[in-house]
């Protein structure tokens, strides 16, 4: 079940701002699902000890369709893409869910309260989906960022702590 299937219908073409991440984490299940869809396995690379989607020469995801301004693998996209503009990070000693506020849907307040609440109502499903693939230690290592340009309140805001499954 794709828990984020209908959440992002408000998405507006922005020429792939969310498709410029260098660390779209892939689980083995996602690699297998995407490979089945595209018929090949050359779409990912190793970064640290994790698998991530490759990017083109301009830094866009290799599955970004520049003509349509859409994802070519939308139905089988990775978890990181599925939950965007929400994300998980390790920040100030805790794993948090946060919202990227630079996303045009968020910035222009096009993310309706209904869709935001739908995400919040499904957040535990998202947690169970991603957290069953990683140990807490692995998730913390992967999710750690430090960038002084990413000030809380300017480019992102905290939603709540991640609830780890035991």
The rounded distance, in Å, linking the Cα atoms of 23 and 21 is: 5
Q: What is the pLDDT of residue 115?
A: 74
Residue 74 CB neighbour total at 10 angstroms? 14
* 37-74: pLDDT as tens digits: 999 989 999 987 788 899 999 889 999 998 888 889 98
pTM comes to: 0.77
Q: What is the pLDDT of residue 110?
A: 65
* 114-163: pLDDT as tens digits: 777 877 888 888 787 777 777 777 777 777 655 556 667 777 888 889 88
* Whether pLDDT at 108 is above 60: yes
The rounded distance, in Å, linking the Cα atoms of 110 and 49 is: 37
Q: What is the pLDDT of residue 79?
A: 82
Q: What is the pLDDT of residue 128?
A: 79
The residue among 68, 64, 48 whose CA lies nearest residue 56 is 64
* 2-44: pLDDT as tens digits: 444 445 566 666 777 788 876 788 888 899 999 999 999 899 9
SS3 32: helix
The rounded distance, in Å, linking the Cα atoms of 104 and 118 is: 19
Beta strands in 43-85 (DSSP E): 44-47, 50-53, 64-65, 70-71
Q: What is the pLDDT of residue 4?
A: 47
């Amino acid at each position: 079940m794709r828990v984020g299937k209908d959440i992002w219908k408000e998405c507006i073409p922005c020429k792939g701002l969310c498709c410029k991440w260098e660390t779209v984490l892939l689980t083995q299940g996602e690699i297998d699902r995407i490979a089945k869809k595209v018929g090949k396995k050359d779409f990912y690379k190793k970064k640290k000890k994790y698998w991530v989607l490759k990017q083109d020469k301009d830094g866009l995801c290799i599955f970004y369709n520049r003509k349509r301004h859409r994802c070519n693998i939308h139905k089988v996209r990775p978890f990181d893409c599925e939950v965007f503009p929400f994300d998980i990070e390790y920040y100030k000693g805790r794993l948090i869910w946060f919202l990227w506020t630079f996303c045009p849907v968020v910035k222009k307040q096009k993310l309706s309260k209904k869709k935001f609440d739908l995400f919040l109502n499904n957040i535990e499903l998202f947690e169970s989906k991603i957290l069953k693939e990683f140990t807490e230690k692995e998730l913390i290592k992967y999710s750690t960022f430090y960038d002084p340009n990413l000030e809380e309140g300017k480019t992102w805001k905290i939603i709540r702590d991640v609830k780890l499954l035991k």
